[in-house]
Chain A
Amino acid sequence: MAEAMLAVRGMSVAYGSVRAVDGIDLDVRAGEVVALVGANGAGKSSLLKGLMGLGGRVGGTILLGGANLYGVSTQRRARRGIGYVPEGRRVFAGMTAEENLLAVSRENAAARAARTQEMYALFPQLGLRRTSPAWQLSGGEQQMLAVARALMVRPRLLLVDEPTLGLAPAAARAVIGALRDVAAGGAAVLLAEQNARAALAAADRALLIRLGRIEASGPASELATDERLLRAVMGG
């Protein structure tokens, strides 16, 4: 089996005295979608933020393509090939959809333009709204934009935080489907999702997270019917 694109060992994330993530091991290989499933406050979002270097005191080791990310700034993590889709989408509201995509690119003008076309091929709906200010887009379109924006730099690892929150089923399907395409293109995808069924349908493997720890892990299809799933999500 190929070496993991992302290898995490004993990771913790603490905010003040709160340990949001408490000793998690996980691997994500190139070409694979791994889902983190759990209730709100289980630590999924904190884990992704910790990987990105956004707040919290992070312990443990994080290897990206074998290189340690310890002490690497957020901006450099992005430049080393992590794409990030934040919770709540957080598109650049005052800029058009196309500007959102262009702004993060690090390629020359021709390559930038070509890459936006690839994004419009992935999300045709976005191509139709390319000149609209991002705040005018629907929730689904904003989510597509947030994913496309992260993909502009051809990341090796894509972190996606709660992409289906508040989306209509059709939009949720489009976004989740695109993540499968991204993995098929060779990237590693780590997906944090409260909507357990949507996440498990899209993922190869999944981790059930509760109170900052891994409750169970395995192939997504097996966990979908596991009784521990309901427990992880509902508590008790």
Chain B
Amino acid sequence: MDFLQLAVNALALGAAYALVALGFVLILNATAAVNFAQGDLVAAGGFLAVALAGILPVPGLLLLPLVAVLMAAVGLAVCAVAYWPLRDRPPVAVFISTIALGIILQNGLNGLFGAEPRAAPPLSGSGHLEIGGLVVARQSLAIMVVAALLIVGLRSLLWHTQLGRRLRATGQDREVAAALGIPVGAMVALTFALAAALAGAAGLLLANQFFITPTHGTDFIVKAYIAVVIGGWGRVGGALAGAMLVALFETVVAALADYAVATGLLYGALLAILVLRPQGLFGEAEGRRA
């Protein structure tokens, strides 16, 4: 396969992984808890897109906001059921509760849609474009553009709005944020909504090109988890870079050898990073939570 073609595929996959990893990091930073159901939320988003496409025959691009809003509501429910009652317990309690939530989501999807792979509608038509002699799938391009826009949008929300400053302050020190009048409960709920909306968007993007099955969630969460470890626990920029590295690694090695070798090597690399550089590949974290 042509190397440039490969790179485009890797970028598209990486962009979608980045959305998953971002949602994961948002919740991690706001609550210090691991949301193991983040991958299943991606699958749920993908199937939601499949279902909506059956009712509304419009391009995926128009379904995207609808999926995001509905998934945000699911995120609020996740917060209320699996996080809020456990907020004063050790973080491992949330880890287990979100594993449980993942089982519920997976089997709910399996019951509703069956186990066979499904595809969501393309974002804006299928087919290929020719750019400077390079033939690129329209969907790959659309995934990259949409994901990039979402990431830029999230970045400006977090860094350039009052709401974003409050979300980040809550993540940095919840007790002090509350003592300074920031409504931390609402901020945490909003974080879950945002994370789930991102997962929904990722699901819609992935479910066209790569299809989706109810058990796909475990795969997504593991990739996001790896991306976050590679990027440095809790670092937003690091998670993005980590997601790109994971996708690139997967695509290139899978093309040269096969998918199993790629995944095996990925885990090997992960273990090596955990043992040798637990702070991630990109330098020290900001000296807060480990």
Query: Using a CB–CB distance below 8 Å, which chain A residues touch chain B?
Result: 52, 54, 73-75, 77-79, 83-84, 86, 90, 92-95, 99-100, 102-106, 109, 112, 133, 135, 149-150, 153
- The residues of A that contact B166 with a CB separation of less than 8 Å are 103
B176 near A86: Cβ-Cβ < 8 Å: yes
B286 and A104 contacting across the interface, CB-CB below 8 Å:
no
Which 10 residue pairs spanning A and B have beta carbons closest together?
A78-B181, A103-B165, A104-B180, A92-B172, A103-B169, A84-B179, A94-B286, A74-B178, A75-B178, A90-B176
A74 to B169 Cα, complex, angstroms = 16
Residues in chain A near residue B89, CB distance under 8 A: none
Residues in chain A near residue B287, CB distance under 8 A: 93, 135
28 contacts between A and B (CB under 8 A): A52-B179, A54-B179, A74-B175, A75-B182, A75-B183, A78-B179, A78-B181, A86-B176, A90-B173, A90-B176, A92-B168, A92-B172, A92-B176, A92-B177, A93-B172, A93-B287, A94-B286, A99-B165, A100-B169, A102-B162, A102-B165, A103-B166, A103-B169, A103-B177, A104-B169, A104-B182, A106-B181, A112-B162
Inter-chain contacts of B286 with A (CB < 8 A): 93-94, 133, 135
Query: A93-B286, A94-B286 in contact; A75/B181 too (CB < 8 A)?
Result: yes
- In the complex, what residues of B have CB within 8 A of residue A103's CB? 162, 165-166, 168-169, 177, 182
The complex places the Cα of A98 from the Cα of B141 at a distance, in Å, of 38
Give the residues from 143 to 188 in chain B that come closer than 8 angstroms, CB to CB, to chain A.
162, 165-166, 168-169, 172-173, 175-184
**A95 x B180 contact (CB < 8 A):** no
Nearest-neighbor residue (CB-CB) of A99 within chain B: B165
| Number of A-B residue pairs at CB separation under 8 A | 74
How many residues on the B side are at the interface (Cβ–Cβ under 8 A)? 20
Report yes or no: B184 in contact with A95, Cβ–Cβ below 8 A: no
Q: Are A74 and B172 in contact (CB under 8 A)?
A: no
Residues of B within 8 A of A95 (CB): 165, 168-169, 172
Contact surface of B with A, Cβ cutoff 8 Å = 162, 165-166, 168-169, 172-173, 175-184, 286-288
Interchain CA distance A225-B133 in the complex, whole Å: 87
> Shortest distance in angstroms between B43's beta carbon and chain A's nearest beta carbon?
31
* Chain B interface SS verdict (over half): helix
CA gap between A95 and B166 in the complex, in Å:
11
Question: Quick one: closest B residue to A53, CB to CB?
Answer: B179
B179 partner residues in chain A, CB cutoff 8 A: 52, 54, 74-75, 77-78, 84, 86
**Residues of chain B within 8 A of A78, CB atoms compared:** 178-181
For B175, the chain A residues whose CB sits under 8 A away are 54, 74
**A residues in contact with B169, CB < 8 Å:** 92, 95, 100, 103-104
Residues of A within 8 Å of B178, CB to CB, are 73-75, 78
Which residues from A are CB-within-8-Å of B288? 93-94, 135
Q: Which of B176, B178, B180 has the most CB of A within 10 A?
A: B180
Cβ contacts under 8 Å, B173 to chain A: 90, 92
Instruction: Evaluate whether A94 and B180 lie within 8 angstroms (CB atoms) in the complex, with A99-B165, A102-B165, A135-B286 already known.
Output: no
B42 to chain A, nearest CB (A): 27
Q: What CA separation (Å) do A105 and B166 show in the bound complex?
A: 10
B180 touches A153 (CB 8 A): yes
The CA-CA distance from A28 to B287 in the complex, in Å, is: 37
For residue B29, which residue of chain A has the nearest CB? A94
B179 to A, closest residue via Cβ: A84
Identity of the chain B residue whose Cβ is nearest the Cβ of A77 in the assembled complex: B179
Give Cα distance in the complex from A141 to B226, angstroms.
Answer: 37
Q: How far is the CB of B285 from chain A (nearest CB, A)?
A: 9
Closest to A88 in B: B176
- Closest residue of chain B to A89 (Cβ to Cβ) is B176
* A99 surroundings in chain B (CB, below 8 A): 165, 168
Complex: A135 Cα to B285 Cα, angstroms: 11
- Provide the bound-state CA to CA distance between A109 and B181, in Å: 17
Shortest distance between the CB of B181 and any CB in chain A (Å): 3
Asked whether, in the complex, the Cβ of A104 is within 8 Å of the Cβ of B181, the reply is yes
- Give chain A residues whose Cβ lies under 8 Å from the Cβ of B177: 92, 103-104
> A73 CA to B178 CA in the complex, in Å?
9
In this complex, what residue of B is CB-closest to A95? Answer: B168
Chain A residues with CB under 8 A of B182? 75, 103-104
CA distance A110 to B101 in the complex (A): 44
Most chain A CB within a 10 A radius of its CB, from B178, B182, B288: B178
